[in-house]
């Protein structure tokens, strides 16, 4: 694809390189300058005149900075005369602020959507969006791509390697909001069934699991979520399942936010296996598996 140029800023450089190689596309060069007063200047060093451009950039870790850098890059690319711009935001920051949970809160995700709409790219894509209602915030064509096939393949291989009978496996939704994700995995793993946990969130980044109505005794439980941040939700769910007799707990999540050394707490917990995708690129311990989303990206 000689007419295609791939860009990334800071969050998804390895992913951009894989995609460029996969499609025999040019990898665009950029410069990012930070000034002493905190201002930033981002520009393309590659001319995009009459070219189709694809940008990969997760708005993770100081999401507001990643977002503004992204807006500046898009403007720079447009000024070189690009033909089209497709924007992949593998992890969409602020997606957990899609509704008002506490009095006088803004719907931050809607604000971010309005800002991104001003960039006037041709399409925005992400992976495993926190809530489907977020798509309604955008005027720009917006698509959330599922990673279920990656997790299904991973767990089929894991269960086979560990000689675990599929009938002894439960897919656990850590809350009602994750039901659709759990249903999709159950469909990909015939013979399993779903368990839903009830959860109450008493403050930001804190969740307490209350109860569930099912028998998990002797079962291998797979908890599948979109985001692991502090890990409190997952550890609470894991402890609850084990207290009720689960044989082991496996945990999969699309987005490895992992703030405040949560990865250390997870590794010290009773989680048997931990797997993420590479929507957020970071160094993880070798005993944590990472699934490559480039396998399901089609340009």
Indicate the pLDDT class of residue 233, thresholds 50, 70 and 90: confident
Q: Which fold has domain 4-145?
A: Rossmann fold (3.40.50)
Is pLDDT larger for residue 267 or for residue 201?
267
Indicate the pLDDT class of residue 208, thresholds 50, 70 and 90: low
Indicate the pLDDT class of residue 176, thresholds 50, 70 and 90: confident
Whether the per-residue pLDDT at 241 is higher than 60: the answer is yes
254 neighbors 276 (Cβ within 8 angstroms): yes
pLDDT value of position 209: 54
Phi and psi at residue 104, to the nearest 5°: 70, 15
Distance CA(58)–CA(281), nearest Å, equals 9
pLDDT value of position 75: 98
Query: 161: which residues sit within 8 A by CB, 6+ positions away?
Result: none
Mean pLDDT of 193-200: 80
pLDDT value of position 139: 97
CA geometry: angle at 111 spanning 107 and 113, to 5°?
115
Indicate the pLDDT class of residue 2, thresholds 50, 70 and 90: confident
Mean pLDDT of 66-81: 97
Options 3.40.50.720, 3.90.1150.10, 2.20.130.10, 3.40.50.2020; which CATH number does 148-291 get? 3.40.50.2020
pLDDT digits 0-9 by tens, 84-124: 999 999 999 999 999 988 889 999 999 999 999 999 999 99
pLDDT value of position 177: 73
pLDDT value of position 212: 65
Indicate the pLDDT class of residue 207, thresholds 50, 70 and 90: low
136 is catalytic: no
Whether the per-residue pLDDT at 255 is higher than 70: the answer is yes
Q: Which of 114, 139, 199, 295 is catalytic?
A: 199
pLDDT value of position 142: 97
Distance CA(52)–CA(44), nearest Å, equals 14
Whether the per-residue pLDDT at 47 is higher than 60: the answer is yes
pLDDT value of position 1: 55
Is pLDDT larger for residue 214 or for residue 263?
263
- The closest alpha carbon to 199, from 221, 222, 225, belongs to 225
Tokens of 81: 């005369």
pLDDT value of position 101: 82
pLDDT value of position 196: 85
Mean pLDDT of the chain: 92
pLDDT value of position 122: 98
Lowest mean pLDDT among 49-58, 158-167, 231-240: 231-240
CATH fold match for the domains 4-145 and 148-291? yes
Please report, for the chain, the start and end positions of each structural domain, with discontinuous segments joined by +: 4-145, 148-291
Distance CA(5)–CA(21), nearest Å, equals 11
Polymer length in residues for the chain: 299
């Amino acid at each position: 694809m000689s007419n295609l140029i791939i860009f990334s800023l800071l969050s998804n450089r390895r992913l951009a390189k894989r995609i460029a190689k996969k499609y025999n596309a040019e990898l665009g060069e950029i410069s990012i300058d930070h000034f002493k007063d905190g201002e930033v200047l981002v520009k393309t060093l590659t001319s995009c005149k009459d070219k189709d451009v694809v940008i990969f950039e997760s708005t993770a870790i100081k999401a507001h900075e990643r977002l503004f850098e992204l807006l500046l890059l898009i403007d720079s690319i447009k000024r070189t005369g690009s033909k089209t711009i497709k924007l992949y935001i593998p992890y969409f920051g602020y997606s957990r602020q899609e509704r008002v949970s506490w009095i006088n809160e803004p719907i931050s995700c809607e604000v971010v959507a309005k800002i991104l709409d001003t960039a006037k790219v041709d399409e925005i894509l992400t992976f495993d969006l926190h809530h489907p209602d977020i798509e309604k915030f955008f005027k720009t064509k917006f698509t959330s791509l599922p990673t279920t096939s990656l997790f299904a393949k991973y767990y089929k291989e894991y269960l086979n390697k560990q000689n675990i009978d599929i009938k002894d496996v439960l897919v656990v939704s850590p809350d009602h909001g994750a039901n659709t994700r759990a249903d999709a995995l159950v469909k990909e793993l015939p013979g399993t069934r779903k368990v839903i946990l009830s959860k109450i969130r008493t403050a930001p980044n804190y969740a307490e699991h209350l109860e569930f109505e099912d028998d998990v005794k002797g079962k291998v439980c797979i908890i599948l979520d979109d985001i692991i941040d502090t890990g409190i939700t997952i550890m609470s769910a894991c402890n609850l399942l084990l207290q009720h007799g689960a044989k082991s707990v496996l945990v999969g999540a699309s987005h490895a936010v992992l703030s405040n050394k949560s990865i250390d707490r997870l590794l010290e917990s009773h989680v048997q296996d931990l797997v993420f995708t590479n929507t957020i690129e970071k160094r993880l311990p070798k005993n944590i598996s990472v699934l490559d989303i480039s396998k399901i990206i089609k340009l």
